[in-house]
Each structure stands twice: as structure tokens, then as C-alpha cells.
Amino acid sequence: MARQQAPLKTSLYALLPCKVGLTLRWNANRLLRQSSYTESQYLRLRRCHGDSYSLRPFDQTQSIFVHIPKCAGISVNKALYGNLAGGHKTFNQYLTIFEPKLILNYFKFTIVRNPWDRLVSAYHFLQKGGANSTDLQWANRHIADYSSFEQFVKQWLTPENARSWYHFRPQSDFIIDSSAQISLDYIGYFETLEQDFAYIASRLNKDVQLAKTNKSQHVDYRSYYNDETRAIVADVYAKDIALLGYNFDNSQIVRASAAPITGGTAHV
């Protein structure tokens, strides 16, 4: 019976006026998850630079950046905010951190990437040790035994496994409001990062350049795939592909200018 409660709650939120639903969710997090809420509010006050986390710049710039792993997020965060901002928090998590009136008014955006390309990037990143000891330990347990990317995709990549580690988690999980009440204001694309970042920076009144960090060293991602592995990725990340308008070789990207990210519209 308990498993039915979450979908029911979600559907009830969707029936409420947007601000009412957001307020209920924010208050529920504040009252029922006090430790998590207190930690997030501390991050809103914390002053820091470099490789540290702080949500203070979000309030200062009246913006929220949803950082999807392996989508140039570190470069974006450091250029716009001077630190790692909120890390890899999802849009749903931000909806319980910031007050509803701020959620409605802040410029909410993300950067997305071709799922086939992103998978190759994540695989190599973790194969080389990732960003920290936690990444390394996970990679040693889950990637080290595979002799090739092809074997990894065939034997490991399933919808369940993809959600077991954030580098492989579907991009839609990061950017969709599960209650279908509110959407992001802008979706930038890794494939057109320079021009999309320029637009984002202008919205935030920032005159900054995007540095390249964690740049992938592997060759063209398309060379890693055969028909079978290409199809596996298409199945596991089908929602991302449909939602964000990708095809395998980026020959016909349909930017998510009217994608049903939630009940609202995601503008690009």
C-alpha cells in the first residue's frame, strides 16, 4: 500500500494551483526533513570559491542551474558562480530548497547532451578514477571488470543500473518536475554550448567566458558503437532522446522549444 502513496501525492500536487503545490512541497521538506532542509539553507548562506559548494550565488543572481553530470556543468558553475554551486541536485530537490515565490521568479536552466556521447564520456571519466575516492571506489566495483565499452554496455547498462550512479542517470530525471507543476525556463545544448552559454550569461548580466574543464580526451563517440550497443542506449535513454530531440549522430537535433518537460513549457 505504501508504494501507491507517492504517485497519489504527485497527482494531487498536479491538480493544485502551481504556487499552492510548490508551497506544500516546500513546507513538507522543511518540516519532515529538517536535517536536509537545514543543510540546504546553510549552503544558501555559505561564501566560498573554487571547488566548494554554495547556493548563495543562486540567490544573488536570481537563477538556478541544474547541473547534469558530464554536460559541462563544472565549467558553467565556475564561470557564472565562482564555485560548484549545488552540485548535482535535481530540479525536484531545488523545488524543496527555495521558497515558491523564488522558484517562480528565478531563471531556471540546464545544459543537456547527446545520450550516446554522454555515456561514452561518463564511462571514460569513471574508468580513469572520476573526481574523488567515491567515484573511484564505484568504478572499481562496477566498471573495472569490463574489458571494453562494448562489453560494459551489453552487460551492465539497464534502466535500473543507469539510475544506480548519477553519472549514468537519465537527464530527464534531473530536469523534470515530478508533480508536473513547473518547468525550466531554458535548456542549453552541449552541442551548441558556446552560443547557449552566451545567452545564459547575458540573462544573468554576466560578462564571463566559459573555461574548459574535465574535457573528454576520447575520440568521436560514434566510433564506440555498433548497431547492438547503439540500440541498447536508445532503449535505456529513450525518454531523454524523445524529450530533448536527439538522434544518434546529432544530424537532426530538435531543440526542446516546446518539449513537455512538465505541465509547463521549457524554452530554449
Alpha carbons 75 and 83: distance in angstroms, whole number? 9
* 3 state SS of 111: strand
pLDDT at 25: 87
pLDDT at 251: 83
Q: Which has more pLDDT, 242 or 257?
A: 242
Q: Is 186 among the domain residues? A: yes
Alpha carbons 207 and 104: distance in angstroms, whole number? 25
Residue burial 235-253, b: 16+ Cβ < 10 Å; e: rest: ebbeebbebbbbebebeee
Residue 262 has pLDDT above 80, yes or no: no
Alpha carbons 226 and 149: distance in angstroms, whole number? 11
Q: Is 262 among the domain residues? A: no
Q: Is 255 among the domain residues? A: no
Residue 19 has pLDDT above 60, yes or no: yes
Proportion of the chain above pLDDT 90, given as a percent? 73
Q: Are 75 and 92 in contact (CB under 8 A)?
A: no
Q: Is 252 among the domain residues? A: no
Mean pLDDT of the chain: 89
Q: Is 81 among the domain residues? A: yes
- List the single range of 85-94, 149-158, 258-267 with lowest mean pLDDT: 258-267
- Half-sphere exposure (Cβ direction) of 44: Cα atoms closer than 13 Å: 15
Residue 93 has pLDDT above 70, yes or no: yes
pLDDT at 29: 86
Q: Is 217 among the domain residues? A: yes
Residue 71 has pLDDT above 90, yes or no: yes
Domain encompassing residue 37:
2-244
Q: How many structural domains compose the chain?
A: 1
Do you know the residue count of the chain? 268
pLDDT at 264: 39
pLDDT at 215: 63
Q: Is 268 among the domain residues? A: no
Residue 4 has pLDDT above 80, yes or no: no
Q: Is 265 among the domain residues? A: no
In this prediction, residues 118-141 reach a mean pLDDT of 95
Task: Encode pLDDT of 225-236 as tens digits.
Answer: 999 999 999 999
Residue 9 has pLDDT above 60, yes or no: no
Task: Encode pLDDT of 160-203 as tens digits.
Answer: 999 999 999 999 999 998 777 778 999 999 999 999 999 999 99
Residue 51 has pLDDT above 70, yes or no: yes
